[in-house]
Amino acid sequence: SAVISQKPSRDICQRGTSLTIQCQVDSQVTMMFWYRQQPGQSLTLIATANQGSEATYESGFVIDKFPISRPNLTFSTLTVSNLSPEDSSIYLCSVMTGSEQYFGPGTRLTVT
């Protein structure tokens, strides 16, 4: 398993600003993922973040809106840019260890 922490746990941001979310893992992992969970919904994969290469984005998600950094094997950041109320969601990072994925506690973002 893996222990994952996220910062901040929650934030309220104004329209047009950006929020950067940090994800820290207690062990080195190759694959990290960023998900979005909109209110009352399931999880949607935003992108896969691999160390040493650019993130791979899913359909409907673009780098300009969701830039991701992966400077080492234990850390990643997701920035949600040019915020709008539609970006209000829980953002979760996860890691793959063996064949299983483990999730962080999430960051609850509210855009006003």
Partner 1 sequence: TQLLEQSPQFLSIQEGENLTVYCNSSSVFSSLQWYRQEPGEGPVLLVTVVTGGEVKKLKRLTFQFGDARKDSSLHITAAQPGDTGLYLCAGEGGSNYKLTFGKGTLLTVNP
* Positions that interact with partner 1 (CB under 8 A): 1, 4, 31, 33, 41-45, 48, 56, 92, 94, 96, 99-106, 108
Cβ 82 to partner 1, closest distance in Å? Answer: 26
Q: Which is nearer to partner 1, 42 or 112 (CB)?
A: 42
Residue 24's CB is within 10 A of a number of other CB atoms, namely: 15
Bridge partner list, 35: 45, 92
Cβ 25 to partner 1, closest distance in Å? Answer: 13
13 touches 19 (CB < 8 A): yes
Q: Which is nearer to partner 1, 14 or 99 (CB)?
A: 99
Q: Which is nearer to partner 1, 48 or 69 (CB)?
A: 48
12 touches 67 (CB < 8 A): no
103 touches 2 (CB < 8 A): no
